[in-house]
Chain A
Amino acid sequence: GENVEQHPSTLSVQEGDSAVIKCTYSDSASNYFPWYKQELGKGPQLIIDIRSNVGEKKDQRIAVTLNKTAKHFSLHITETQPEDSAVYFCAVIGSNFGNEKLTFGTGTRLTIIP
Chain B
Amino acid sequence: DGGITQSPKYLFRKEGQNVTLSCEQNLNHDAMYWYRQDPGQGLRLIYYSQIVNDFQKGDIAEGYSVSREKKESFPLTVTSAQKNPTAFYLCASTVFSGNTIYFGEGSWLTVV
- A-B interaction: yes
Instruction: Determine if B56 is an interface residue (Cβ-Cβ < 8 Å).
Output: yes
* A-B interface contact total, Cβ < 8 Å: 59
Interface string of B42-71 (1 = CB under 8 A from A): 111100101000001011000000000000
Which of B13-21, B74-82, B100-108 is the contact stretch?
B100-108
CB atoms of B41 and A107 under 8 A apart: yes
Size of A's binding interface in residues, CB under 8 A: 26
Instruction: Determine if B109 is an interface residue (Cβ-Cβ < 8 Å).
Output: no
Chain B residues near A100 (CB, 8 Å)?
97-98
Closest to A4 in B: B42
CB atoms of B45 and A42 under 8 A apart: no
Chain B residues near A34 (CB, 8 Å)?
100-101
CB atoms of B43 and A44 under 8 A apart: yes
CB atoms of B106 and A102 under 8 A apart: no
Closest to B106 in A: A43
Given A41-B106, A93-B98, A101–B33 Cβ distance below 8 Å?
A: yes
Instruction: Determine if A12 is an interface residue (Cβ-Cβ < 8 Å).
Output: no
Interface size class of B (residues with CB under 8 A): 20 to 34
Question: Contacting B97 at CB < 8 Å: which of A41, A98, A104?
Answer: A98
Instruction: Determine if A53 is an interface residue (Cβ-Cβ < 8 Å).
Output: no
CB atoms of B106 and A42 under 8 A apart: yes
Given A41-B106, A42-B105, A101–B100 Cβ distance below 8 Å?
A: no
Interface string of A73-100 (1 = CB under 8 A from B): 0000000000000000101010001111
CB atoms of A43 and B97 under 8 A apart: no
Residues of B within 8 A of A (CB): 4, 6, 33, 40-45, 48, 50, 56, 58-59, 88, 90, 92, 97-106, 108
Having A43-B6, A104-B43, one finds 10 other A-B pairs with CB under 8 Å, namely A42-B106, A43-B92, A43-B103, A91-B101, A97-B98, A100-B97, A100-B98, A101-B58, A101-B97, A106-B41
